[in-house]
Structure 1
Amino acid sequence: MPETAADGMSYSVPDDLRRVRAFVTERALALGLPEARIDVLTLAVSELTTNTLQHTSGGGHIRVWAEDGRLVCDVVDRGVDRPFGRSMPSAEAIRGRGLAIVERVCDSVRTTRVPEGTLVRICLDL
């Protein structure tokens, strides 16, 4: 799917996270995601992009579009493969909840290596 300025944006510093959340919310509304699920999408994207900024260099890129009755969101960064399929960390754990939360709130999550690094694709049914 060709990207337009409307469906993608880059981020590189923590101050970009507010802009990322606004972008995702605006795109989700425009693409017909029910308002009750927009917070779920925003939470998942916020976890993924925060993870990018904490654990990789160079920031990342996000794309959001609708396809086959689903809202699709790709987060691409220079990180390594993410271990999905994990259990929720214990209450005493200091870190490690972000990816577990993403898996639980999205209808599907997958990751793949791409030339730029790693792509995490999350989908929510429209």
Structure 2
Amino acid sequence: MPEPADDGMSYSEPDDLRAVRAFVTERALALGLPAGRVGVLTLAVSELTTNTLQHTEGGGHIRVWAENGRLVCDVVDGGPDRPFGRAMPSAEAIRGRGLAIVERVCDSVYTWTVPGGTLVRICLNL
């Protein structure tokens, strides 16, 4: 089972995704994200964490906090930099929609290379 901290938790197995979604939902509501937007955040985090488990080794860590009128969520893993700014794949494509969905549902998305991997930061206005 992943170990939560007050503003973050780690995940490493597909079975952890339910706990990740619950953690993000609880944190978002506690930090004032309107209930109607919590599903948007949960979708984006689910896409990012699933991407971590499918394409990297060792799982990842997620943090959620509020600052400057925004809910901020970092997803850090050992994978390479993510290519954002892409077009939505065609309806016939079997894969490749996750990052495009994240960009479209969040108010802003940033990515940085960090020691040992990549940090993706998603923000939703409170």
Q: Tell me by how many angstroms 1:116 deviates.
A: 3.1
Unaligned runs of at least 5 residues, structure 1: none
CA distance in 1, matches of 2:8, 2:102: 20
Moved over 2 A (4+): none
Q: Tell me by how many angstroms 1:5 deviates.
A: 1.9
CA distance in 1, matches of 2:116, 2:19: 22
Q: Residue in 1 aligned with 2:123? A: 123
CA distance in 2, matches of 1:90, 1:37: 26
Unaligned runs of at least 5 residues, structure 2: none
Q: Residue in 1 aligned with 2:75? A: 75
Query: 1:76 touches 1:116 (CA, 8 Å); kept in 2?
Result: no
CA distance in 1, matches of 2:29, 2:97: 27
- 2:51 equivalent to 1:39: no
- 2:109 equivalent to 1:109: yes
Query: 1:113 touches 1:119 (CA, 8 Å); kept in 2?
Result: yes
Q: Residue in 2 aligned with 1:94? A: 94
Q: Tell me by how many angstroms 1:95 deviates.
A: 0.6
CA distance in 2, matches of 1:28, 1:83: 26
CA distance in 1, matches of 2:116, 2:22: 24
Q: Residue in 1 aligned with 2:8? A: 8
CA RMSD of aligned residues (A): 0.9
Deviations 1:30-77 (A, max 9, x none): 000000000000000000000000000000000000000000000000
With the length of structure 1 as denominator, give the TM-score of the two structures: 0.96
SS of match in other structure, 1:33: coil
SS of match in other structure, 2:50: helix
